[in-house]
Amino acid sequence: MFMFRRLTVRMNSPYFTDSTAGLDTYATDSLGKSAVNKGGIRRLRSRMAQGLKSEDDPPKVKSEVEEQSISLQTHAQPPTETVSNCKKTTTKVKEEAVDNQALLTSSRKTRRGRLKVEYENEGAELKSEPCDWRTQLSFIREMRSKRDAPVDQMGAEKCYDTEAPPEVRRYHVLISLMLSSQTKDLVTAGAMQRLREHDLSVDVILNMDEGTLGKLIYPVGFWRTKVKYIKQATALIQQEFGGDIPDTVEGLMRLPGVGPKMAHLAMDIAWNQVSGIGVDTHVHRISNRLGWTRKETKTPEETRRALEEWLPRDLWSEINWLLVGFGQQVCLPVGPLCSVCLNQHTCPAAHRSSPSKKLKSSPASPTPQVKGNVGQEKPRGNRRKGKTGAPPSGQTSVLESA
């Protein structure tokens, strides 16, 4: 009994109570510290492991964001708004990463595409316009503004009968083009006038003998060859095209004596369709003198292809009329009048020959005007005066030589 009381007093004493509490507190603190230390060691080990892994693998935005969210949840208990903001930030970062990756991929594809196009077009020739061609063309228009050249009065578009039926007018245009090869416009206009006096048409030419036709068209250049071509072409028009000239370049070139120049001019004048540039000796010569061809061309057909590569299509119909009249008055085949030409400072061929010649004034009437032109081409071949017979036998050639 005594011992029980003694033990009770001792347990109720403040000394015993404080010591026990102290021991409990110490134990609790030590356990908490050990738990904290254990948690710190685990985090340290996990961070070290992640650091080693990050050295081998490239850093990823997604893993860093997840680590940040885990650490925030471990050390503190954020409110609901903070957690939602963190989720939004994570989603936004993910979206930005996806967008950046898409941009990089698209830029790489674009660069590859551009390189592919460059390699594909590496051997292709680039179309380039000649220097100062617009200025030169405007000066030619200014010099041709009076419209007083022989082609303006007696060209193919002036030789048909305006009161005839449409198919007859188109036939007149074709015959005038066939006669104009290697022939002055004055001679061509005279031959067409005589043919029209005999009611020029498909049926009339088919019923006319070659001798009569030759007398009517003489003295055009290569008149014998042209008589045969006119008869053969007219028969083909009657048999395969119903009495009207073909309405395509391919059909026109099937006719004997008709080449690319005549076909394109016939399409423009007769059918009012621009199919190509009509290049004759004047257009061929002036284009090479002005440097409008990439390299010097040898034939009118080469010049046509060279001009059509860069010249705007809306100028194809005008260019023949401009250059033909310009070649008849100023840019002559022999002794061009460079001193009066407005393009003398930009033309590569200016002043190479006869730089001191001056342009003669043209009379008002068309016929004396042609006779007064300086340096015009003379009909090839020596014709004897006062006779209507044939020229020398060696004077036969193809119509499309010019």
**Residue 280 backbone dihedrals phi, psi, to 5 degrees:** -110, -165
Dist. CA 368–CA 384, nearest whole Å: 23
- Annotated catalytic residue 261: yes
Q: Which of 211, 210, 216, 209 is nearest to 193 (CA)?
A: 216
Q: Which of 214, 221, 230 is nearest to 183 (CA)?
A: 221
Q: Is the peptide bond before 392 cis (omega within 30 degrees of 0)?
A: no
**Residue 333 backbone dihedrals phi, psi, to 5 degrees:** -65, -35
Dist. CA 400–CA 67, nearest whole Å: 88
Buried b (16+ CB within 10 A) or exposed e, 345-384: ebbebbeeeeeebeeeebeeebeebbeebebbbebeeeee
From 261, 358, 378, 387, active-site residue:
261
**Residue 287 backbone dihedrals phi, psi, to 5 degrees:** -60, -40
CB 286 within 8 A of CB 323: yes
Amino acid symbol at 80: T
Catalytically active residues are 261
